[in-house]
Amino acid sequence: MDRKDKAILMALQNDAAVTVGELAERIGLSKSACWRRIQNLEDAGVIGARVTLLNQQALGLNLTVFTAVRTHEHTRTWFDRFHDVTTAMPNVMEVHRMSGDVDYLMRAVVPDMKSYDDMYKELIGKVNLFDVSSSFSMETIKYTTALPLDYL
């Protein structure tokens, strides 16, 4: 990966809808060379997807919830069930398996507290959990989907 690839990645992270022509001009490549580099980055798995980010509040999803989950079951069967249930829940945006006292950390977005309560009841009704603790975001100070590329 060279500085041109890095420039392509930085530009696409900021605006995936930029045309190949605009991108090529911006970083000093021909359109075909730029397109080949993008294809190579996709083939290598560096570019996983090109998506449109939606405004959570504009869609009425006003509550962000971070949920810490602990379990006493550490079996493949339990994990598979937890995985299937959480990945099928459209309001669950992220699930991380953690080190330390918390086994899993989830981030969900919902319209309101009742919607979160419904989601919570669905989760505990489908998966055996030892402890569930939720915190509600009062304000988002920083949110980005752009990965840091300075180390490349």
113 and 73 in one domain? yes
List strand residue ranges (DSSP E) for the chain, in order: 63-70, 92-97, 104-110, 131-136
101 and 69 in one domain? yes
Q: What is the pLDDT of residue 58?
A: 98
What is the DSSP code (8-state) at residue 101? S
**What's the N-to-C CA distance of the chain in angstroms?**
8
80 and 23 in one domain? no
Answer whether residue 8 shows pLDDT above 90: yes
Answer whether residue 14 shows pLDDT above 90: yes
- The pTM of the full predicted model, rounded to 2 decimals, is 0.88
120 and 73 in one domain? yes
What percentage of residues in the chain have a pLDDT greater than 90? 98
Where b means 16+ CB within 10 Å and e means fewer, 75-101 reads eeeeeeebeebbeeeebbeebeeeeee
Q: What is the pLDDT of residue 95?
A: 98
pLDDT digits (tens, 9 = 90+) for 24-57: 999 999 999 999 999 999 999 999 999 999 999 9
Answer whether residue 9 shows pLDDT above 90: yes
121 and 68 in one domain? yes
Q: What is the pLDDT of residue 31?
A: 97
122 and 83 in one domain? yes
In total, how many domains does the chain have?
2
Q: What is the pLDDT of residue 152?
A: 85
**134, HSE (Cβ side, Cα atoms, 13 Å):** 17
150 lies in some domain: no
37 and 74 in one domain? no
Which residues form the domain of 120? 63-136
pLDDT digits (tens, 9 = 90+) for 68-95: 999 999 999 999 999 999 999 999 999 9
